[in-house]
Amino acid sequence: MSVIVPADREHVASVAKDETQLDSLNRFMRLVGKQDERAMVLSLATFIEDTLGRLLLAYFRDCKATRELVEGFSAPLGTLGSRIKVVYAVGLVTEEQFKDMEILRKVRNQFAHNWEGVSLERNDIAAMVGQLSGYSFSGAPDQSAGKDRLLGTLSSCCIELYMFQGRIEAGKAVKVQDVSHRLTTIPPTEPARSRYVK
């Protein structure tokens, strides 16, 4: 009879969580690919908004202030637009990802605030979709347009954000560093030395 030592339990829990995350991500990717244009755009935007929120909660200090910034009715970082800006400002996403998410946000607003005459083929929306990076994991240039380009580019972004958030939660990627400082004339204790300025 084998006994699972605490380190093994941690590893088993980590693998199980990764598999659960991947299952959830795979279910979303299968679902979104079958949707009509409006549902696809709104689903991609909602998924990214939710993932960015969880990414910020994982990255920032684990405290009430963080939760109040990200979650709740009037949270300053509770919208897709504010979340896109802050993850770019603190260096959690590339400039290319930032631009792609901003385009998605603008396209989402067109679909969310109009009930007729909205299509990815409409000139203004097609122009925005045409500005997407077309990024793929293989690095091969994406020559597609319309729904395929939007789905391909933003699916890659969804996967990257989702996996990055999971890596931070699992301790495989760095959380925000505590760079706060206090001024003192009294020598600080060794563990706090880096936070104090003589």
| pLDDT computed for residue 2 by the predictor | 38
Domain assignment present for 156 = yes
Domain contains 1: no
Reported confidence tier of residue 3, pLDDT bands at 50, 70, 90: very low
Closest CA to 46 of 94, 97, 111, 123: 111
pLDDT of residue 146: 92
Q: Residue 118: helix, strand or coil by DSSP?
A: coil
Q: By residue range, what is the domain housing residue 35?
A: 6-197
Q: In this predicted structure, what is the pLDDT of residue 179?
A: 79
**Domain assignment of residue 71, yes or no:** yes
Residue 68 to residue 71: CA distance in whole angstroms: 6
CB 60 within 8 Å of CB 66? yes
- Report how many domains make up the chain: 1
Q: Tens digit of pLDDT for each residue in 105-135?
A: 999 999 999 878 899 999 999 999 999 999 9
* H or E, element range at 196: strand 196-197
> What are the tens digits of pLDDT across the range 58-99?
999 999 999 999 998 899 999 999 999 999 999 999 999 999
Task: Report the pLDDT value the prediction gives residue 142, as an integer from 0 to 100.
Answer: 84
The yes-or-no verdict on residue 19 having pLDDT over 70 is: no
Residues 42, 96: Cα–Cα separation, whole Å: 21
pLDDT at 12 over 50: no
Tens digit of each residue's pLDDT (9 = 90 or more) over 160-182: 999 999 999 999 998 998 878 77
Neighbours of 39 (CB within 10 A): 13
Which CATH number do you get for residue 190?
1.20.120.330
On the question of pLDDT at 50 being above 80, the answer is: yes
Q: Across all residues in the chain, what is the average pLDDT?
A: 86
